[in-house]
A and B are shown apart, each in its own frame.
Chain A
């Protein structure tokens, strides 16, 4: 798993509540990514960050927010504005100068 920790593994929330998913890495990686995975739709990029205090929107950023205050942490907040938040969320990171990204084990969010 490359030293990337996503917590919790399963998360349940009531509709209308904001929820924050944790992603921590101890690999000294510069770039970090958040993806959403739905059945039959593959991985879709939500946000990514190349360096601390900087991040860019991916393909489906609406209803999500992120922060990158520390190099090792890239939390994702799923806001009440996200219309269909139930999904499997994956975090990844990559070191500058390397090619492949390493993934966490994912967080399955269920909104009821």
Chain B
């Protein structure tokens, strides 16, 4: 069975500093990996994905993520955090055959001025 782990419930960052939100995964085959963001009482918005190719993928709002196969990780990063980045972030993995989409527990990012 596939699974995703986000080891940090919350990440606190000062505005202008770099941020990292961690994600590790477990799948039987090649991973299809995603990051989503959720604002209060809203659905999830897609940020970026890794399917194949370069290990560093770029997404919306200046976010990027680094795929590391040996460490089975897919950490979300941004060089300079904004207060408006404060939200709940979810990592997800999809099985390309069954289309089952599994999410991690979420990490709350708090960016302080």
Binding site for B on A (CB under 8 A): 1, 4, 6, 31, 33, 35, 40-45, 48, 50, 56, 58-59, 88, 90, 92, 94, 99-106, 108
- By secondary structure, the A interface counts as strand
> Number of B residues whose C-beta is below 8 Å from A?
24
Number of residue pairs A-B, CB distance < 8 angstroms = 65
Q: How far is the CB of A55 from chain B (nearest CB, A)?
A: 11
Asked whether B20 is an interface residue with its Cβ less than 8 Å from the other chain, the reply is no
Q: How far is the CB of A6 from chain B (nearest CB, A)?
A: 8
Q: How far is the CB of A19 from chain B (nearest CB, A)?
A: 19
Q: How far is the CB of A23 from chain B (nearest CB, A)?
A: 11
Task: Give complex CA distance A90, B6 in Å.
Answer: 20
Q: How far is the CB of A71 from chain B (nearest CB, A)?
A: 15
Which residues 71-103 of B sit at the A interface, judged by CB distance below 8 A?
90, 94, 98-103
20 residue pairs from A and B, CB less than 8 Å apart:
A1-B43, A6-B43, A31-B99, A40-B105, A43-B90, A43-B103, A43-B106, A48-B100, A50-B99, A88-B41, A92-B43, A94-B101, A99-B32, A99-B34, A103-B36, A103-B43, A103-B45, A105-B42, A105-B43, A106-B41
